[in-house]
Structure 1
Amino acid sequence: MNTLLIALLRALRSHRWLRLLGCAFILSSLGNGLTQVVVFGQLLRWSASPATLTLAYMLAMLPGFLGSLWGETLCRKISPMKILILTEVLGLLALAMPLYGLLSHNIPALLAVQSAEALFNGMSYPALTLIFKRGLRPDELPAATAMETLIFASQVLLGTGAGVLLFDVLSPLSLLAIDALSFATSAGLLLCTTAVFKTLHQPDDAQPGDEKLRWQNLSPLQRRSILLLPALAAVGSPAMALLPALAQEIRPGAAPGLALPLLFARSLGQLCGPLMLSADKLRHYSGSNWRLLLCLGIFLGCYFLLPLFANWPGIGLTLVFSAHLASNIVFALGTFSVLRYFPGGQVATASAMAWRGQVLIAAVATGLAGLLAQNLGAAIALYGVSLMSLMGVAVVLWRYRW
């Protein structure tokens, strides 16, 4: 079976620039994950309120809207490789904020770094998509989907995995030092990637694209492709934002010890689900409404069962793993659709549009969930907002059905 994992391994053997790029972003994701551990771990240690925890999740997304606008604009003016290097350097400089927050017991400073990372991630996403589109053949696009999945999951799989193991062993300042080293090394690897990429491709391929898109001019298939990631955000964001608060409700006396393993199980599921998909059937799967809704339904079902197994942490970890095994299949199909159904000159703008839609929908759903959690509890907020979102997604998929 030609899975996405096999397609990725085949592409990695063929493209040195892809190997360098993958290593760079995996290291960068390690740093981002460590930052997340420091922020959420300290907030839980300081007994932050559910509203603060939910706000931290919102700040890890919302500035990505502005970042994607900047990234889209920069892709029309400079090489996308330069954009990626810029975001790594800025990410390194942004670590001054959590450093100040830890030293002065300042919660806003800890939250600020979440906003900075979201901004830089939004800038890098259109550039990364454009590089994949230009550097890979059409039959290799499933490998790009797999690589994006690997990068997305590595942030918590590696960063949170290392953070869970080291959080009570090393000081938060030591974790930030490791974080800074990962950003610096990633920037160096991206410089090497730039040199290799330029030698393999024509000068035109290294230049920015300049095509703009208007929603009214897109085909129904292209609109559906852009809407898949926002649809996932509508259903998934309330659950992911409320995960630390759910941990507080499930085990009030040991929230950090439960929340961080749950974050790790989440990312492990995010990685494993998409990589097992058949690379030859991605186009068919992305057009199947019932498969997409089934995956989102499994995701919500697992989260709905989570509060019922408060005394069985192993079952809770399995439920979170299974939930994100299903949800990230939708993520993989969304990223593949954008790469598949937009030409090279439009793919950066299309991916930026999908990113902005994802951020905007996630912010609205998360904000509503946070307000309900503060007044009614995390579990009730999860049930109410997520079910309403799933019904809305079903309507959108029916509207743009194949």
Structure 2
Amino acid sequence: MFKFLFLNINFVYFAIANLIMQIGIGLTQVAVYGHLAKVGASPLYFTMAFSFSVIPGIFSSQLSCYLAKKVNIIFLCILFQLFGAFSLFLPLLGISNNYVLLIVFAEFISAFIMGFCYPISQIYVKRVFTDKNYLPLAAKLDVYLFSINIILGTFIGTLLYNYFSTKNYLILNILMYLISALLFLNSYYKNKLISIKNSDNYKNNEEIKNKSFIKQQLLFFRNFSEEQKYSFLILIFLPIVTTPAISLLPTIGNKYGTKIFIFGIILTPALGFILAKTIGQIMGPMLISGNQFEKLFKSKFIFLSCNFIFLFIYLVIYFIENIYLSIFLIILAHLFSNIVFSLGMFAVQRTFELKQILDVTTKQYQISTIAIAFIALLSGYLIHYIPYYVVIFSPYFIIFFILIFSEKNIKNKIIKSRKIFFVK
């Protein structure tokens, strides 16, 4: 691993730049929600903050998909780091003038930049990891970087928030955007060719190219092979299945009061759960060796069984009354969910060509983001009317029947094609 990273030092700079950017965004999210709670903002502002953390990324990922076919992808990353840095002066102005709406705008900026950079990062990974034997490493690194971001940005950020002001957190995020821009620039100079603009997937496909935007999306998916369809859907089905349980986790934490004592540190249950989730996320990919990725990523049984175990553990957590056992079980649950996540990251890079990655990851990001937002809100509403186990297991069984039905269709197509072959 270290030899590969040493030979691709440009990727190391690129990955660290992404990590620093995400840590800064995590600190900003903590600062926004912390400030809203501190000033006693109305629920409307909390709802706006949640919406701003979701909606902008849907549109910015589409903008990224378009611009990456026109402009050098590293230049785009640098441009949007600078945009993020200068845009945060508006929330700083909001703090000085006690204008809450401008403070909430910081969430809009964060989500916009995250959505913009995600498809570009997947192109870069595809270009660096050209040898499929190293793709498991790419999948694992993605999970590890995300987990480090959660620990440093969200967990440590929340832990230390009371010792710093919202203003300090936003200034720190500005500095992190600027540092990221410098690292992206360094990555560019280490390997200029790898950051060239992406080829247009529709350029030589007249059937798709001349259709409307909506028809392009439908035709694009229709032209996937069966293997590609499942690879595309793994990282969409996964959040659909896991979001109800994760979104309702704070309601479980409420029964343990406001403070818990872990490893000599006083934490809120929410922070303890965040730490537990992150540990599980890091451990999950460690259970899969490099050669197992190739064998397991196509397995619907692995997807269904890991997610069933995840949900069953969350069901147990709901009924037990021991905080330490709950934390252990959360670690265990996310260990299983992140086995699926790392396989999903591997599957996309493994089954799609370079010219497809931009469009594929953009659509994945958009669909999964919308699904997470909708299901989280729906789960919060339904929990007042139907039992917890019905809320968390309903999406799983919907996906279960979709996968079983699709598997039967595939088998029928194979049988039919064989019959045609023998008749001929």
* TM-score normalised by L of structure 1: 0.85
Q: Determine helix, strand or coil for the equivalent of 2:238.
A: helix
Q: C-alpha displacement at 1:129, in angstroms? A: 0.9
Q: Taking structure 1 as reference, are residues 107 and 153 closer, same or farther at Cα in structure 2, changes over 3 Å only? A: farther
> Of 366, 372, 380, which aligns to 1:370?
380
Write out aligned runs for 1:347-362 (5 A). Answer: 347-362=357-372
Which AA in structure 1 matches 2:197?
Answer: Q
- 1:331 matches 2:341: yes
Q: C-alpha displacement at 1:216, in angstroms? A: 1.4
Name the residue aligned to 1:3: none
Write out aligned runs for 1:178-327 (5 A). Answer: 178-198=172-192, 201=193, 206-212=196-202, 214-247=220-253, 249-251=254-256, 253-254=258-259, 257-310=268-321, 312-327=322-337
Q: C-alpha displacement at 1:271, in angstroms? A: 2.4
Q: C-alpha displacement at 1:128, in angstroms? A: 0.8
Q: Taking structure 1 as reference, are residues 186 and 319 closer, same or farther at Cα in structure 2, changes over 3 Å only? A: same
Q: C-alpha displacement at 1:52, in angstroms? A: 7.2
Q: Determine helix, strand or coil for the equivalent of 1:158.
A: helix
Root-mean-square deviation (CA), in Å?
A: 2.9
Q: C-alpha displacement at 1:103, in angstroms? A: 5.0
> Of 21, 24, 27, which aligns to 2:20?
27
Write out aligned runs for 1:49-128 (5 A). Answer: 56-57=49-50, 59-96=52-89, 98-99=91-92, 102=95, 108-128=101-121
Q: C-alpha displacement at 1:195, in angstroms? A: 1.1
1:297-343 Cα offsets, whole Å, 9 max, x none, are 23223333334345x33233223222222212222111111111111
Which AA in structure 2 matches 1:116?
Answer: I
* TM-score normalised by L of structure 2: 0.81
Which structure 2 residue ranges, 5 or more long, are not aligned?
A: 203-218, 261-266, 411-424
Which AA in structure 1 matches 2:241?
Answer: V
1:15-45 Cα offsets, whole Å, 9 max, x none, are 1111111211221121122122223434555
Which AA in structure 1 matches 2:369?
Answer: V
Q: C-alpha displacement at 1:394, in angstroms? A: 1.3
Which AA in structure 2 matches 1:208?
Answer: N
Instruction: Work out which of the two has the higher radius of gyration on C-alpha atoms and give 1 or 2.
Output: 2
| Separation in 2, partners of 1:297, 1:105 | 47
| Separation in 2, partners of 1:44, 1:350 | 38
Q: Taking structure 1 as reference, are residues 282 and 194 closer, same or farther at Cα in structure 2, changes over 3 Å only? A: same
Q: Is the 8 A contact 1:157 1:268 kept in 2?
A: no
| Separation in 2, partners of 1:371, 1:174 | 36
Which AA in structure 2 matches 1:89?
Answer: L
Q: C-alpha displacement at 1:60, in angstroms? A: 2.4
Deviates more, 1:338-347 or 1:353-362: 353-362
Deviates more, 1:205-214 or 1:100-109: 100-109
Q: Is the 8 A contact 2:32 2:166 kept in 1?
A: no
Deviates more, 1:172-181 or 1:189-198: 172-181
| Separation in 1, partners of 2:375, 2:226 | 25
Deviates more, 1:188-197 or 1:140-149: 140-149
Q: Percent identity?
A: 28
Name the residue aligned to 2:162: 168
| Separation in 2, partners of 1:322, 1:51 | 35
Which structure 1 residue ranges, 5 or more long, are not aligned?
A: 1-6
Q: C-alpha displacement at 1:98, in angstroms? A: 4.7
Name the residue aligned to 2:126: 133
